[in-house]
Structure 1
Amino acid sequence: RGLGSSARSAREDSWLKSLFVRKVDPRKDAHSNLLAKRETSSLYKLQFHNVKPECLEAYNKLCQEVLPKIHEEKHYPCALVGTWNTWYGEQDQAVHLWRYEGGYPALNEVMSKLRQNKEFTEFRKERGNMLLSRKNQLLLEFSFWNEPVPRNGPNIYELRSYQLRPGTMIEWGNYWARAIRFRQDSNEAVGGFFSQIGQLYMVHHLWAYKDLQTREDIRNAAWHKPGWDELVYYTVPLIQEMESRIMIPLKISPLQ
C-alpha cells in the first residue's frame, strides 16, 4: 500500500505541475525574422509626446508646418504614416508614426541629414519648450497585418497597445495570424507592429473607425463569428498590461 500510495502521489504531483508548466518549443531564429514581413525592410518609429496643455495648439501648428517637409523631401528615405492627438486616453498627447524604407540604414541616414538641417534643429528646440515628456519605440510590422496606407476620412483611430509577458511574442503572432481575418470586414485594420527597441515585448494594433458607435458595433460583431472567442481566450493570458487610445488625426496626417 505504501508503494501504491507513493505512485498515486507522484501522479497527482505530476498532474498538478502540468497545470502550471507550459512546454516551450525551441526557437531557432529571432522574433524579427519569424514574425516580420520578409518582402519589405521597413522600420517604423512610434513617438509619444506629452505636451504642456497650454501649448498643444501651438505644438500642432508647428508640427503641421515642419513635418510635411520631411515627409515630402525625396532625399529622406522616410514617410509620415500618421500623426494624431489623443482624444480619449492620456490627454494632451501627440502620437506620430514614421516609416523608414530600408530599415536601420535608412533611419541612420535620415537622422544624420536632420542633424545638419538648420530648420529642423530650430524646430526641435522650439518643440522641446512645449513638451513635458517624450518617448519612442522602433517597431517592425507583423507579416499577416495590412501595411498602413493613406486613407480618406473622417475617421477616428484606436491604438491598442499590449505589454506581453516575455517569451510569448511567437504565440501572440500565431494566434493573431488567424484572428486578423475576423477583423477585416469593415476595412478597420490599419497596421500591426511589435517593438524592437524601446519598451520590449510591446505590440501595437492600429484601427480606423468612422466614429465611436461604429467601433462598438464592429467589435461586438466579431463575437458572433465562430472562433473569435477562442482566440481571445488564448491570447488574454499572454498580456501583462493593455491600453487603448482613441486618436484624432491632424490635417497633415496621411491617415485621415
Structure 2
Amino acid sequence: MFNIRNALRRATAQADSVVFCRKGREYSRASISTGPQQQHETFYEFRTYYIKPHLNAAFHKLTNENIHLRTALSELVGYWSVEYGGLNQVFHIWKYESYAQRAAVRAALAQDPNWMEQYISKAMPMLSSQDNEVTYLVPWSKIQNPPKEGGVYELVSFQMKPGGPAVWGQSFQGAVCTHAAPGYAYPVGVFHSEFGLLNRLHVLWWYENADQRAAIRHKAHSDARVVSAVRQSVAYLESQKNKLLFPCSYSPLK
C-alpha cells in the first residue's frame, strides 16, 4: 500500500509538471514578448536577510514567535533558511495584489506597536543587511504546492542578456519545461524581476532531499532533450546562481 501511494504521488507530480509547461507553450505565443508584468497586478516580493552569524538561532526563534503579527496583514508564500549557496541567510516570498496594497501593509506595520516593539526593535540589530526584489510570475507559470511536505527547495537565479522575454523567453521556457515535464524536478514557480536586477529570472524547484536532487541532476544531464534545450537557453545567459533552501517551521510552503 505504501508503494502504491508513493507511485500515485509521483504520477500526480509529473502530471502537474507537464500541465505547468504545456499551458505555458499555449499562452506564451501570444504574450511572452510583452513581458509578464503587463498581464496582471499580482506580484511577489523576494526578501533576503543576512543574519549576524552568532545571532542566527536567536533570529529564527524571534521570528517563529512573532511571524503571526506580520502574516495577519499580507500573504506569506514561503520562508526558508539558506543551507548552501549563502551562509546565515533567510529568504522569504510575500504576495501582494497591487503596489497600493503593499504600501498600506507597510504603513500599518509601522503603526503597530506590537510588531515594532516585539519584533522589529529586536530583529534589526541581528541583521547585517537586507535585500529585496519585486518579481512577477511568468505567464506560463503558477505557484504549485509540492507533492508532499518535508523536502528541500532550490532557488536558481539566472541573469539573462538584455532584451527581455522577447529575446530569450521561449528558449528559457523550453529549458525549464524539459526539466519539469519528465519529472526530473518539480517547479514551484518561475519568476521574472521587475525591480532589482533586470532581465533576471528565478526558478524555485522542490526535491525530496538534497541527495535526490543530486541524483536527478545527474540523470537529467544525460538526457539529450535536456542538453539540447539548455544549450539553446545558455546562448542568452550571462550568469546564474543557486541556493539550497530548508523551509522554516512557520513557512506555508514546507
TM-score band by shorter chain is 0.7 to 0.9
1:137 to 119, 133, 158: 133
Structure 2 residue aligned with 1:120:
115
In 2, Cα distance between equivalents of 1:200 and 1:215: 28
Higher alpha-carbon Rg: 1
Shift of 1:228: 2.1
In 2, Cα distance between equivalents of 1:228 and 1:150: 22
Aligned runs of 1:67-86 on 2, under 5 Å?
67-71=67-71, 73=72, 76=73, 78-86=74-82
Q: Once the two structures are superposed, what CA deviation does each residue of 1:95-138 show, in whole Å capped at 9, x if it has no partner?
A: 111111x2212211211211111122222221110011111001
1:166 to 162, 169, 175: 162
One-letter amino acid of the counterpart of residue 41, structure 1: E
In 1, Cα distance between equivalents of 2:168 and 2:115: 39
Whose relative contact order is higher, 1 or 2, with alpha carbons under 8 Å and at least 6 apart?
2
Shift of 1:33: 4.7
Q: Which has the higher helix share?
A: 2
Shift of 1:150: 6.9
Q: Structure 2 vs 1, CA of residues 205 and 214 (structure 1 numbering), >3 Å: closer, same or farther?
A: same
Gaps of 5+ in 1: 1-29
Q: Structure 2 vs 1, CA of residues 33 and 116 (structure 1 numbering), >3 Å: closer, same or farther?
A: farther
Structure 2 residue aligned with 1:105:
100
Q: Structure 2 vs 1, CA of residues 180 and 243 (structure 1 numbering), >3 Å: closer, same or farther?
A: closer
In 2, Cα distance between equivalents of 1:32 and 1:252: 38
Contact 1:37 1:142 in 2 (8 A): no
Contact 2:146 2:188 in 1 (8 A): no
> Higher mean Cα deviation, 41-50 or 163-172?
163-172
In 2, Cα distance between equivalents of 1:150 and 1:55: 31
Gaps of 5+ in 2: 1-30
In 1, Cα distance between equivalents of 2:32 and 2:103: 22
Contact 1:37 1:143 in 2 (8 A): no
In 1, Cα distance between equivalents of 2:38 and 2:247: 26
In 2, Cα distance between equivalents of 1:187 and 1:68: 32
In 1, Cα distance between equivalents of 2:176 and 2:216: 13
One-letter amino acid of the counterpart of residue 101, structure 2: A
Structure 2 length-normalised TM = 0.79
Contact 2:157 2:200 in 1 (8 A): yes
Structure 2 residue aligned with 1:248:
246
In 1, Cα distance between equivalents of 2:32 and 2:90: 29
